Amino acid sequence: MDTLFLDTNVVIDLLGEREDFYDAIAKIVSLADKGKVKLTVSALTYSTVFYVLTRFESKEIVKEKIRKFKIIAKTADLTDKIIDKGLASKFTDFEDALQYYCALKSGSSMILTRNEKDFKSSEIPVFNPNEYLSRLLSNPQR
């Protein structure tokens, strides 16, 4: 079973129901709800999602969306060791480095993001949600 680490941008797409991006990530979350894939996000993701979405919706609505999402997603801890790895990494974006090392530590089999270029030196596969769904359709036994 695939263990998917969701980058913050795809969680924002999902919970913010962003028009051009929502459908693909919603299908993936539906797979998780059916027990066909596992989802993981970093602890950092929740604060960023809350900050971004409360610019458009009430705090209570955003909190409720996060509560529901947490039911199907495991949270990867953001530890001192991960922060140190992020600081020492060659990632140009510190937040991406933290996400990457959380994905590795959590044992995720791949990262889903809309910014694949930010993870070009990843040791695990990186896909955008549409690519991941296409991959599943081309290999239905997964």
Domain residue extents for the chain: 3-138
pTM of the model: 0.94
C-alpha–C-alpha distance, residues 64 and 80, integer Å: 29
C-alpha–C-alpha distance, residues 108 and 65, integer Å: 23
Q: Could you tell me the pLDDT band of residue 141, with boundaries at 50, 70 and 90?
A: low
Q: Does domain 3-138 sit in CATH 3.40.50.1010?
A: yes
C-alpha–C-alpha distance, residues 28 and 91, integer Å: 27
C-alpha–C-alpha distance, residues 124 and 11, integer Å: 19
The predicted-structure confidence for 3-17, as pLDDT tens digits, reads as follows 999 999 999 999 999
Q: Could you tell me the pLDDT band of residue 142, with boundaries at 50, 70 and 90?
A: low
- The total of other beta-carbon atoms located within 10 Å of residue 37's CB is 22
Q: Which residues contact 7 (CB under 8 A, 6 or more apart)?
A: 45, 96, 99, 111, 112, 113, 114, 115
Question: What SS3 state is found at 141?
Answer: coil
C-alpha–C-alpha distance, residues 98 and 25, integer Å: 21
Taking the alpha carbons at both ends of the chain, their separation in whole angstroms is 7
The predicted-structure confidence for 82-140, as pLDDT tens digits, reads as follows 999 999 999 999 999 999 999 999 999 999 999 999 998 899 999 999 999 999 888 76
Residue reference for tokens 């600081």: 87
Bigger pLDDT: 141 or 52?
A: 52
The predicted-structure confidence for 30-74, as pLDDT tens digits, reads as follows 999 999 999 999 999 999 999 999 999 999 999 999 999 999 999
